[in-house]
Amino acid sequence: MNAIVKELEQDKALMGEWFEHMHRHPELSMKEEKTAKFIEETLRSFGAYEIETGVGKFGIVASMKVGDSDKAIGLRADFDALPIQEVNNLPYKSETPGVAHLCGHDGHTTMLLAAAKHLAETKNFNGTVRLIFQPAEETMQGSPAMIEDGLFERFPVDAVFGMHNMPGLEKGKLYFTEGDTMAAVDNWEVEITGKGGHGAFPELAVDPVVAGSSLVMALQTIVARNVAPSHSAVVTVGAFQAGQAGNVIAHSAILRLSIRTTTPEDRKTVLGNVRRLVQQQSESFGCTAEIREGVPGAVLTNDPEETRKAARIARDAFGEDEVFEDGPTYLGSEDFAFMLQKRKGTYCFLGNGDTRFVHHPEFVFDKDILPIGAAYWVALTEGYLR
């Protein structure tokens, strides 16, 4: 076992307490007031950091300088939850109906807190470490909000690093990928408006559910017939909400879309076709439509040099068999992509083993990997700030 992991194993019970507290009390994106307060109080208990709160609403940056070097590193963890009902039978199951940490952000924050405690106790580096605790990753709001609030101007770093647990990858192993690694996502909401009425008199109404149903099917032709088979893209309608009763024709319908692309050209093509089909399909059924666009998407691109450097540090710390450099790519998205547009760095994956995938109501973050993730942050800080 890695020496740093052995040391962090001594705090495993404390990590479990932090993790289980956050898991029991999840908060949705840009509503993480209590979680942010918990993170702040935990950081203050270490007594070594300059702590700035309210960065991008609920973001926190904790900084500690050791020695005389001007070099600085940023380590980022997210802490928002998802609007999903957890169905796991865990002793620390979410206590908030319809909201749960089913992506592992509670684990990510726990690992960075554990690293913060260890770094404060050992101070085995020369330079400045900045711990970035970010809200609202799930809605792609948190990273842009912190950047707009002057994240890198107020808290300069030479490079910034992120990490995500990943089901399906070997438990406890670290995976690094150079270049484009995760897709750009555009989260759009479409409202189709018709004319409500009685279900027995459809001729007196204009049914947005029929228009929306046709649109759902039409949207599935975009990738199949407009994106090269060698490329990756997806258009998902994750929510379709209309009406309350079977004998009432709804006045309007809401569709929520997740649109994922991996090149700027494909993004332009796909988004253009979504706009066209929304308008044309709605009009063909006598309805009108409004598109409400979310934060513009960005592909997560890892800097090759920083990726190799981080992987080398990880290999030195954990051993050759624990680190993979030919890592995977995903159509999943990450708003850490926006930070990597501003500063060089890399985003790696930590294997969560054979579990349900993230965002599944039965996903379980494996607490055994908490010391490993924390040890990676410590090793990266010590290796980068020698």
Q: What is the pLDDT of residues 328-381, one digit of tens each?
A: 999 999 999 999 999 999 999 999 999 999 999 999 999 999 999 999 999 999
Residue 161 sits in the same domain as residue 231: no
Q: CA-CA distance, 256 to 382, in Å (whole number)?
A: 44
pLDDT of residue 137: 98
pLDDT of residue 344: 98
Identify the CATH number of the domain in which residue 131 sits.
3.40.630.10
Q: CA-CA distance, 14 to 22, in Å (whole number)?
A: 13
Residue 39 bridge partners (DSSP): none
Is 25 marked as binding a ligand? no
List pLDDT tens digits, range 34-57.
999 999 999 999 999 999 999 999
Q: Are 80 and 136 in contact (CB under 8 A)?
A: yes
Residue 359 sits in the same domain as residue 235: no
Q: CA-CA distance, 7 to 28, in Å (whole number)?
A: 33
> Among residues 293, 327, 362, which one ends one of the domains?
293
pLDDT of residue 2: 77
Q: CA-CA distance, 294 to 351, in Å (whole number)?
A: 30
Is 360 marked as binding a ligand? no
pLDDT of residue 3: 85
Residue 79 sits in the same domain as residue 226: no
pLDDT of residue 187: 96
pLDDT of residue 374: 98
Average pLDDT value for residue range 60-70 = 98
Percent of the chain with pLDDT over 70: 100
3-17, 94-108, 170-184: range with lowest mean pLDDT: 3-17
List pLDDT tens digits, range 80-98.
999 999 999 999 999 999 9
**In one letter, which amino acid is 245?**
A
pLDDT at 290 over 90: yes
pLDDT at 241 over 80: yes
Q: CA-CA distance, 59 to 52, in Å (whole number)?
A: 8
Residue 59 sits in the same domain as residue 162: yes
- Counted domains in the chain: 2
Residue 210 sits in the same domain as residue 351: no
pLDDT at 257 over 90: yes
Residue 176 sits in the same domain as residue 190: no
Q: CA-CA distance, 269 to 235, in Å (whole number)?
A: 12
**In one letter, which amino acid is 323?**
V
- Kindly report the average pLDDT of the chain as a whole number: 97
Residue 22 sits in the same domain as residue 109: yes
Which one-letter DSSP state was computed for residue 82? B
pLDDT at 291 over 70: yes
Name the pTM for this structure.
0.94
List pLDDT tens digits, range 229-239.
999 999 999 99
Identify the CATH number of the domain in which residue 252 sits.
3.30.70.360
Is 103 marked as binding a ligand? yes
> Among residues 261, 293, 325, which one ends one of the domains?
293
Is 231 marked as binding a ligand? no
Q: CA-CA distance, 111 to 117, in Å (whole number)?
A: 10
pLDDT at 118 over 70: yes
Domain range for 282 is 184-293
Q: CA-CA distance, 60 to 56, in Å (whole number)?
A: 9
> Among residues 293, 317, 351, which one ends one of the domains?
293
Is 105 marked as binding a ligand? yes
Q: pLDDT band at residue 1, thresholds of 50, 70 and 90?
A: low
Residue 167 sits in the same domain as residue 249: no
Angle at CA of residue 302, ends 297 and 305, nearest 5°: 155
Residue 36 sits in the same domain as residue 143: yes
Residue 71 sits in the same domain as residue 26: yes
Residue 85 sits in the same domain as residue 157: yes
Residue 70 sits in the same domain as residue 210: no
Average pLDDT value for residue range 97-101 = 98
